[in-house]
Amino acid sequence: MHIVAPALKDDITISTSSIYRPWKPVRKFVAQTNREQFVPNTPLIAHFDRKLLLDTDGDLVDRIPIVISGLNVEKLLANPKLSVRTSQLMGKNVIQTLQD
């Protein structure tokens, strides 16, 4: 982007936040639709583990990917940030995600 920016006219925005902002409602709608349409007919197992992952601003953050799996089913439910590194908070996040 730093190479392209000087060549563009002043009325064009190439900020990453300006690019991602219009897609936020679309992602929210798709997630809601997927949540409503997901009705598994098999027993499921929840898997989770804390990971250090890059955030959108490039910093490392603690996240807990929550995946469910079963017969012919594997789905990432959530990938929430952890504010505090405790097993109690991890458990609360997993339970809240499964209830949602």
Furthest C-alpha separation in the chain: 56
**Upper half-sphere CA count for residue 67 (Cβ side, 13 Å):** 10
Dig out the tokens for 41 from the structure: 């007919």
Which 8-state DSSP code applies to residue 8?
S
- The tally of domains found in the chain comes to 1
Q: What's the predicted TM-score (pTM) here?
A: 0.64
Scanning the structure block, which residue is given the tokens 């563009």? 8
Per-residue pLDDT of the chain (100 residues; tens, 9 = 90+): 455 555 555 566 667 777 778 888 998 898 889 888 888 888 999 998 888 888 878 888 888 888 999 998 898 888 888 877 788 888 888 888 888 8
Side-chain half-sphere exposure of 86, counting CA atoms within 13 A? 5
